[in-house]
Amino acid sequence: MDQTALITESDCCGNGCVNCVLNVGYRKTSNDNLEGKRNIISEYQKFRLSNKYPHSLMGRDDDNGNGVEVFELHFCVANLPDGVEDFALMIPAGYHVMMRQHLVTGLVCLRPYSPFWVDSLAMEFKILVNLAPCGQMSRFIIELKVGDFVEFRGPIGPDEYFSNTKTERNVFIITQGVAIAATIRIVQEILDNEEDFSRVFQLACYKDIEHAFFRDTLRDFNKYWNYKSHVYLAHQRCPHGMCKTAECTGECTWFQKQLLYKEKVHLRRFTDSELSNISKDLVGNGTESVFIIAGSNNFQESVTNIIKKSTLESSNTKIVLL
């Protein structure tokens, strides 16, 4: 099923998708403040756009010659029902929300997005959106203005990830581009849980440093004892050919000035050898390893094959696709 779906009100595409974007459900929450509350987003609910600003404006074109812009969108609930104190916004880490747009043709355009920030009691959330002008939903979002209303439903996704407690575990989070947004809250949930002894290895793959999202967030995560991040830039170039090569060497003055303090950035693709090097820091043999992969279908398939070919693949290995 295409991530952006034009469907009728019957919703189901009938293809029996394993990870259907319409699979709505959520785990129990341990937050006592949410005990007994109903989820405001379990049915389509209007949310007001309270802020819209560029996360990064590249000023470049994609492979099809279309300009690409990345925006952060901040939504808050609108038209609260009676008994608002009985409601909360419950979107577990790693889950998506479905944005719905009604078309003049009578069809409906649906697109799942992963909130990277949620305030459950205030019923607000933020998403990161990669816009391509040729996309139906992208055109809709480009025209959105602060104060406009948008319909969302959720949370969407299989119950495959859960917070761990009191046992050691290796958690690999491997992401492509803006898909890292889907994993930010997963990492935060692990690091904030003092009873979760997981070791987290975040491997963020980008085109170049100008397309590297949430670098400041990764820097803050690296202050925790059980977290390490690596950034991979597949096609880094220098302005004005400072490295005098087709690809940047990483040694030029311009590139060095782009780096954050102690930031681990590799000017190459993520490969099986990278996974082997990182695995040297794993906790004991036989410990459970969880791989959370977020990106395009091709990226997920490629990374899954790398994992299955590695020595880390075992009966104690779990792979979760976001």
C-alpha count within 13 angstroms, C-beta hemisphere, residue 201: 17
137 carries a ligand binding annotation: yes
Q: Which two tokens stand for residue 303?
A: 């990374």
- Fold for domain 5-156? Elongation Factor Tu (Ef-tu); domain 3 (2.40.30)
State how far Cα 237 lies from the chain centre.
25
The residue that leads in pLDDT, 306 or 4, is: 306
Q: Which CATH number applies to 168-321?
A: 3.40.50.80
pLDDT confidence band for 299 (50 / 70 / 90):
very high
Please give the average per-residue pLDDT across 71-95, as a whole number.
84
Q: What φ, ψ does residue 117 adopt, rounded to 5°?
A: -150, 135
Q: Inform me whether the pLDDT recorded for 136 exceeds 90.
A: no
With cut-offs at 50, 70 and 90, classify the pLDDT of residue 16. very low
Output the average pLDDT for the chain. 80
- The verdict on whether residue 112 carries a ligand-binding annotation is yes
Which pLDDT band holds residue 255 (cuts at 50, 70, 90)? confident
| Of 106 and 253, the one with more pLDDT | 253
Cα–Cα distance, 214 to 183 (Å, whole number): 11
Asked if residue 114 belongs to a known ligand binding site, the reply is: no
38 among annotated binding-site residues: no
- Local confidence band at 287 (pLDDT 50, 70, 90 cut-offs): confident
Picking from 78, 84, 92, the residue whose alpha carbon sits closest to that of residue 156 is 92
Among the ranges given (61-65, 148-152, 290-294), the one the predictor scored with the smallest mean pLDDT = 61-65
Task: Give residue 29's pLDDT band: very low, low, confident or very high (50, 70, 90).
Answer: very low
How far from chain centre, in Å, is Cα 282?
24
Q: Which residue has the higher pLDDT, 37 or 28?
A: 37
75: closest CA among 145, 125, 128, 148? 125
The answer to whether 115 is annotated as binding is no
Instruction: Answer whether residue 13 shows pLDDT above 60.
Output: no
Cβ neighbours for 134, distance < 8 A, ≥ 6 positions apart: 64, 66
Question: Torsion angle of alpha carbons 28, 30, 33, 34, nearest 10°?
Answer: -10
Asked whether residue 242 is marked as a ligand-binding residue, the answer is no
**What residue ranges do the domains of the chain occupy?**
5-156, 168-321
